[in-house]
Structure 1
């Protein structure tokens, strides 16, 4: 049985690209060497390329913010008259996802300003998006698992933070102790992700 959410996202991405009269691909010239079947296959591939960059936890309002951001990112990244290549769509989608995540994190922080206790994960997301320092336990364990589940912080950002923490351990305690510490953290994270 097909997932209706999956189908909805597929349709929205297709409409953004080509389905609507103002679809983004209609602004560009088609490569003349592509026949009808090749065009269809290229559009299907582009839909899948874009969908792979959209985090699983993206809500309908986030998708509504994503497409205008994606359109702006494409205009910045692609100056040619012909259809942008897949890597341009991928880079533009990644940029748009980051921008939407930043906007949503700011909205959450603003909503929480008047409250006595702000949403801790939203604050951590905002800090990580701005590449600000975060407490080391955030990088592994329950908080990391929840942040990853939300899909707002990509795996590359976590890996970058974790690499920095590991290298600091190597400098301070030596490689052997750092490896032991890293192994413990990874085990802790796996257990947290499973619960």
Structure 2
């Protein structure tokens, strides 16, 4: 089954989205493709065994995704208690709602999702959705943010062939509750 997932994710993500222009991307389809890619590429270097993506249940529907211009995205982010350690909230590119009546919803910045960087931004939030569906979103952000950033880096490297880092990993490693990274 894993070999089929790998083949399917390669086919889906090697080309521009089937039937899509490079300007307008079906984000539900992209999110599903990203879920398949993460499942097929679940071995992520540096992820603690307690947070191993290969041990997660991936059998979930695609989350609801809402695209907003920056000003509205920042407003929703603040309304949902959003915080980016060491950065202004205006830097937000997307966020996942893990509580309340909008739980399981993703808000994303209006950007060109036919490009790898915006796809990696969406992958980050879809990763949180899968973590939440598996009970892994806890009161300790490093436990879910660090694995997600590592998955995002792995995706970027696989799609571009270039190295990548995430400065936020250092921020989360310094967090008082971090004992695993």
- TM class by shorter-chain length? 0.3 to 0.5
Greater percentage in helix: 1
Higher relative contact order (CA 8 A, sep 6+): 2
- Give the TM-score normalised by structure 1: 0.34
Greater percentage in strand: 2
